Amino acid sequence: MARAPGSRGRPGSRAPVALLAACAALVACSRPAREAAPRSGDGRPPPGAARPQAIVSVLYRPPADTAVFERYYREKHLPLLSAGQAEMGFTRVELTRFVSTLGGGRPPFYRQAELYFTSLEDARKGLATAAFKKVAADLDNFDTRGRLAMLAVETDRPAGAACPALVAVLYGAPKDTAAFEAHYAKAHLPLVSAGRREIGFVRLDLTRFLSNLDGSAPAMYRQAELCFRSMAALKQGVATGAFKRVTDDVAGFATGGSVGLIGVQQ
Protein backbone atom coordinates (compact mmCIF):
# COMPACT_ATOMS: atom_id res chain seq x y z
CA MET A 1 0.00 0.00 0.00
CA ALA A 2 1.16 3.55 -0.67
CA ARG A 3 1.82 5.72 2.36
CA ALA A 4 -0.46 8.65 3.05
CA PRO A 5 0.96 12.18 3.21
CA GLY A 6 2.65 12.98 6.52
CA SER A 7 4.31 16.38 6.48
CA ARG A 8 3.65 18.84 9.29
CA GLY A 9 1.42 21.82 8.46
CA ARG A 10 0.62 25.18 10.04
CA PRO A 11 -2.35 25.46 12.41
CA GLY A 12 -5.54 26.75 10.79
CA SER A 13 -7.53 29.80 11.78
CA ARG A 14 -11.14 28.76 11.27
CA ALA A 15 -11.84 27.22 14.69
CA PRO A 16 -13.43 29.18 17.55
CA VAL A 17 -10.93 30.81 19.90
CA ALA A 18 -11.76 28.47 22.78
CA LEU A 19 -11.15 25.44 20.62
CA LEU A 20 -7.89 26.83 19.30
CA ALA A 21 -6.68 27.36 22.84
CA ALA A 22 -7.54 23.78 23.73
CA CYS A 23 -5.84 22.41 20.66
CA ALA A 24 -2.70 24.50 20.49
CA ALA A 25 -0.66 21.89 22.33
CA LEU A 26 -2.49 18.95 20.81
CA VAL A 27 -2.23 19.54 17.08
CA ALA A 28 0.83 18.86 14.96
CA CYS A 29 -1.07 18.33 11.75
CA SER A 30 -0.43 17.30 8.17
CA ARG A 31 -2.38 19.06 5.43
CA PRO A 32 -3.77 17.00 2.56
CA ALA A 33 -4.32 18.31 -0.95
CA ARG A 34 -8.01 19.01 -0.37
CA GLU A 35 -10.56 18.82 2.40
CA ALA A 36 -12.87 15.85 2.77
CA ALA A 37 -16.44 16.38 1.61
CA PRO A 38 -18.81 15.48 4.48
CA ARG A 39 -22.45 14.82 3.79
CA SER A 40 -23.73 18.29 4.61
CA GLY A 41 -20.51 20.30 4.64
CA ASP A 42 -19.91 20.08 8.38
CA GLY A 43 -20.36 16.39 9.15
CA ARG A 44 -24.03 16.54 10.08
CA PRO A 45 -26.28 13.86 8.59
CA PRO A 46 -29.31 14.88 6.50
CA PRO A 47 -32.52 15.75 8.42
CA GLY A 48 -34.16 12.62 9.79
CA ALA A 49 -31.01 10.48 9.54
CA ALA A 50 -29.53 8.71 12.57
CA ARG A 51 -26.77 10.66 14.28
CA PRO A 52 -23.31 9.22 13.75
CA GLN A 53 -21.01 8.94 16.71
CA ALA A 54 -18.21 11.49 16.71
CA ILE A 55 -14.59 10.65 17.47
CA VAL A 56 -11.63 12.72 18.54
CA SER A 57 -8.65 10.85 17.12
CA VAL A 58 -5.00 11.41 18.06
CA LEU A 59 -2.27 9.60 16.12
CA TYR A 60 1.16 9.70 17.75
CA ARG A 61 4.35 9.35 15.75
CA PRO A 62 7.04 6.94 17.02
CA PRO A 63 8.69 8.43 20.13
CA ALA A 64 12.42 8.81 20.60
CA ASP A 65 12.22 6.67 23.75
CA THR A 66 9.23 4.34 23.96
CA ALA A 67 9.88 3.44 27.61
CA VAL A 68 9.75 7.09 28.68
CA PHE A 69 6.65 7.67 26.54
CA GLU A 70 4.83 4.63 27.94
CA ARG A 71 5.65 5.37 31.56
CA TYR A 72 4.32 8.92 31.39
CA TYR A 73 1.36 7.87 29.25
CA ARG A 74 0.25 5.21 31.74
CA GLU A 75 1.13 6.91 35.01
CA LYS A 76 0.11 10.51 34.30
CA HIS A 77 -1.60 11.18 30.98
CA LEU A 78 -4.27 8.47 31.02
CA PRO A 79 -5.26 9.19 34.66
CA LEU A 80 -5.63 12.86 33.67
CA LEU A 81 -7.84 11.84 30.76
CA SER A 82 -9.92 9.58 32.97
CA ALA A 83 -10.37 12.28 35.60
CA GLY A 84 -11.82 14.62 32.99
CA GLN A 85 -14.17 12.16 31.29
CA ALA A 86 -17.36 13.38 32.96
CA GLU A 87 -16.61 17.02 32.11
CA MET A 88 -15.54 16.29 28.52
CA GLY A 89 -18.47 13.94 27.98
CA PHE A 90 -16.90 11.14 25.97
CA THR A 91 -18.55 7.76 26.41
CA ARG A 92 -15.57 5.48 25.82
CA VAL A 93 -11.93 5.53 24.79
CA GLU A 94 -10.06 3.08 22.56
CA LEU A 95 -6.27 2.96 22.82
CA THR A 96 -4.27 1.24 20.08
CA ARG A 97 -0.56 0.54 19.80
CA PHE A 98 0.67 -0.16 16.26
CA VAL A 99 3.24 -2.92 15.96
CA SER A 100 3.99 -2.90 12.21
CA THR A 101 2.73 -2.02 8.78
CA LEU A 102 0.87 -4.72 6.86
CA GLY A 103 4.10 -5.39 5.01
CA GLY A 104 6.03 -5.94 8.26
CA GLY A 105 7.81 -2.59 8.28
CA ARG A 106 8.09 0.05 10.96
CA PRO A 107 4.75 1.85 11.32
CA PRO A 108 4.64 5.62 10.71
CA PHE A 109 2.42 5.95 13.78
CA TYR A 110 3.07 4.51 17.22
CA ARG A 111 -0.26 4.89 18.99
CA GLN A 112 -3.79 6.06 18.43
CA ALA A 113 -6.23 7.33 21.04
CA GLU A 114 -9.90 7.63 20.08
CA LEU A 115 -12.44 9.41 22.28
CA TYR A 116 -16.04 8.56 21.37
CA PHE A 117 -18.90 11.03 21.78
CA THR A 118 -22.60 10.45 21.16
CA SER A 119 -22.78 13.27 18.61
CA LEU A 120 -20.69 15.85 16.80
CA GLU A 121 -22.24 18.57 18.94
CA ASP A 122 -21.18 16.77 22.12
CA ALA A 123 -17.65 16.35 20.78
CA ARG A 124 -17.35 20.06 20.06
CA LYS A 125 -18.62 20.90 23.53
CA GLY A 126 -16.11 18.49 25.02
CA LEU A 127 -13.22 20.04 23.12
CA ALA A 128 -14.04 23.44 24.62
CA THR A 129 -13.92 22.27 28.26
CA ALA A 130 -11.24 23.04 30.81
CA ALA A 131 -10.67 19.30 31.23
CA PHE A 132 -9.78 18.92 27.57
CA LYS A 133 -7.45 21.92 27.78
CA LYS A 134 -5.59 20.20 30.64
CA VAL A 135 -5.22 17.00 28.62
CA ALA A 136 -4.05 18.94 25.55
CA ALA A 137 -1.53 20.93 27.57
CA ASP A 138 -0.08 17.71 28.99
CA LEU A 139 0.81 16.18 25.61
CA ASP A 140 4.12 17.96 25.10
CA ASN A 141 5.32 16.55 28.42
CA PHE A 142 5.80 13.14 26.82
CA ASP A 143 5.16 13.39 23.07
CA THR A 144 8.19 15.00 21.44
CA ARG A 145 7.67 13.82 17.85
CA GLY A 146 4.32 15.44 17.02
CA ARG A 147 0.90 13.99 16.32
CA LEU A 148 -2.15 14.22 14.12
CA ALA A 149 -5.28 15.31 15.97
CA MET A 150 -8.58 15.15 14.10
CA LEU A 151 -12.34 15.17 14.47
CA ALA A 152 -14.18 12.30 12.78
CA VAL A 153 -17.60 10.71 12.44
CA GLU A 154 -18.55 7.07 12.06
CA THR A 155 -19.99 6.21 8.67
CA ASP A 156 -21.40 2.85 9.73
CA ARG A 157 -22.80 1.23 12.85
CA PRO A 158 -20.16 -1.27 14.02
CA ALA A 159 -21.08 -4.30 16.11
CA GLY A 160 -20.01 -4.28 19.73
CA ALA A 161 -17.39 -7.04 19.45
CA ALA A 162 -14.09 -6.53 21.25
CA CYS A 163 -11.06 -5.51 19.20
CA PRO A 164 -7.90 -6.97 20.78
CA ALA A 165 -6.08 -7.07 17.41
CA LEU A 166 -6.80 -4.96 14.35
CA VAL A 167 -5.85 -3.93 10.87
CA ALA A 168 -6.19 -0.17 10.39
CA VAL A 169 -6.10 1.47 6.97
CA LEU A 170 -5.62 5.23 6.81
CA TYR A 171 -6.46 7.00 3.56
CA GLY A 172 -5.05 10.33 2.44
CA ALA A 173 -7.31 12.90 0.77
CA PRO A 174 -8.26 11.54 -2.70
CA LYS A 175 -7.95 13.56 -5.87
CA ASP A 176 -11.69 13.09 -6.49
CA THR A 177 -13.76 12.47 -3.36
CA ALA A 178 -16.91 11.61 -5.33
CA ALA A 179 -15.08 8.93 -7.31
CA PHE A 180 -13.49 7.59 -4.11
CA GLU A 181 -16.82 7.37 -2.30
CA ALA A 182 -18.57 5.75 -5.26
CA HIS A 183 -15.98 2.98 -5.54
CA TYR A 184 -15.71 2.62 -1.77
CA ALA A 185 -19.46 2.10 -1.32
CA LYS A 186 -20.29 0.15 -4.48
CA ALA A 187 -17.19 -2.02 -4.95
CA HIS A 188 -14.72 -1.99 -2.08
CA LEU A 189 -16.98 -2.46 0.93
CA PRO A 190 -19.00 -5.23 -0.78
CA LEU A 191 -15.64 -6.95 -1.47
CA VAL A 192 -14.72 -6.63 2.21
CA SER A 193 -18.13 -7.98 3.24
CA ALA A 194 -17.93 -10.91 0.84
CA GLY A 195 -14.59 -11.95 2.33
CA ARG A 196 -15.56 -11.54 5.96
CA ARG A 197 -15.89 -15.23 6.79
CA GLU A 198 -12.64 -16.20 5.06
CA ILE A 199 -10.68 -13.29 6.53
CA GLY A 200 -12.22 -13.87 9.95
CA PHE A 201 -12.67 -10.32 11.25
CA VAL A 202 -15.44 -9.82 13.82
CA ARG A 203 -15.99 -6.07 13.56
CA LEU A 204 -15.59 -3.39 10.91
CA ASP A 205 -15.28 0.28 11.92
CA LEU A 206 -15.49 2.97 9.23
CA THR A 207 -14.80 6.63 9.96
CA ARG A 208 -14.40 9.81 7.94
CA PHE A 209 -12.28 12.68 9.20
CA LEU A 210 -13.95 16.09 9.08
CA SER A 211 -11.16 18.40 10.15
CA ASN A 212 -8.04 18.80 12.18
CA LEU A 213 -8.83 20.00 15.69
CA ASP A 214 -7.77 23.52 14.76
CA GLY A 215 -10.47 23.62 12.08
CA SER A 216 -8.15 23.15 9.08
CA ALA A 217 -8.55 20.45 6.45
CA PRO A 218 -7.98 16.97 7.94
CA ALA A 219 -4.56 15.37 7.69
CA MET A 220 -6.27 12.11 6.68
CA TYR A 221 -9.49 11.41 4.82
CA ARG A 222 -10.81 8.07 6.09
CA GLN A 223 -9.95 5.19 8.38
CA ALA A 224 -11.13 1.58 8.27
CA GLU A 225 -10.50 -0.92 11.05
CA LEU A 226 -10.91 -4.69 10.84
CA CYS A 227 -11.06 -6.23 14.30
CA PHE A 228 -9.94 -9.79 15.09
CA ARG A 229 -10.31 -11.94 18.18
CA SER A 230 -6.56 -12.39 18.55
CA MET A 231 -3.25 -11.61 16.85
CA ALA A 232 -3.12 -15.22 15.70
CA ALA A 233 -6.51 -14.82 14.00
CA LEU A 234 -5.33 -11.57 12.41
CA LYS A 235 -2.18 -13.17 10.99
CA GLN A 236 -4.26 -16.01 9.57
CA GLY A 237 -6.77 -13.56 8.10
CA VAL A 238 -4.27 -11.30 6.32
CA ALA A 239 -2.74 -14.36 4.65
CA THR A 240 -6.01 -15.31 2.90
CA GLY A 241 -6.91 -14.84 -0.72
CA ALA A 242 -9.92 -12.75 0.29
CA PHE A 243 -7.73 -10.26 2.14
CA LYS A 244 -5.36 -10.03 -0.82
CA ARG A 245 -8.28 -9.18 -3.08
CA VAL A 246 -9.30 -6.41 -0.70
CA THR A 247 -5.80 -4.91 -0.51
CA ASP A 248 -5.29 -5.21 -4.27
CA ASP A 249 -8.46 -3.20 -4.79
CA VAL A 250 -7.22 -0.26 -2.72
CA ALA A 251 -4.79 0.92 -5.38
CA GLY A 252 -7.69 1.45 -7.77
CA PHE A 253 -9.37 4.23 -5.77
CA ALA A 254 -7.00 5.45 -3.01
CA THR A 255 -5.49 8.22 -5.13
CA GLY A 256 -4.39 10.17 -2.07
CA GLY A 257 -2.30 7.29 -0.74
CA SER A 258 -2.95 4.83 2.05
CA VAL A 259 -1.12 3.01 4.78
CA GLY A 260 -2.10 -0.31 6.35
CA LEU A 261 -1.18 -0.90 10.01
CA ILE A 262 -1.36 -3.83 12.42
CA GLY A 263 -2.20 -2.92 15.99
CA VAL A 264 -3.31 -4.14 19.38
CA GLN A 265 -5.80 -2.43 21.66
CA GLN A 266 -4.80 -1.94 25.26
Q: Report all structural domains of the chain as residue ranges with CATH numbers, in order of start.
A: 17-33+50-265 (3.30.70.100)
Residues with Cβ within 8 Å of 97's Cβ and at least 6 positions away in sequence, in order, are 110, 111, 263, 264, 265, 266
Mean pLDDT of 47-72: 87
Residue among 121, 68, 239, 100 nearest 168 (CA): 100
Residue 37: what pLDDT? 32
Mean pLDDT of 65-88: 98
pLDDT digits (tens, 9 = 90+) for 83-140: 999 999 999 999 999 999 999 999 999 999 999 999 999 999 999 999 999 999 999 9
In the three-class reduction of DSSP (H, G, I as helix; E, B as strand; rest coil), residue 122 is classed as helix
144 or 194, higher pLDDT: 194
Q: Can you give the pLDDT at residue 51?
A: 63
User: Are the CB atoms for 163 and 94 separated by under 8 Å?
Assistant: yes
Alpha-carbon distance of 244 to 60, in angstroms, equals: 28
pLDDT of residue 160: 78
Q: How far is CA 81 from CA 22, 133, 169, 261, in A?
A: 14, 11, 26, 25
Backbone angles phi, psi at 110, to 5 degrees: -95, -45
**Reported pTM:** 0.81
**Distance of alpha carbon 168 from its chain centroid, rounded?**
8
pLDDT in tens, 164-221: 999 999 999 999 999 999 999 999 999 999 999 999 999 999 999 999 999 999 999 9
pLDDT value, residue 5: 39
What is the rounded CA–CA span in Å between residue 101 and residue 191?
22
Q: What is the pLDDT of residues 18-45, one digit of tens each?
A: 333 344 344 333 333 333 333 333 334 4
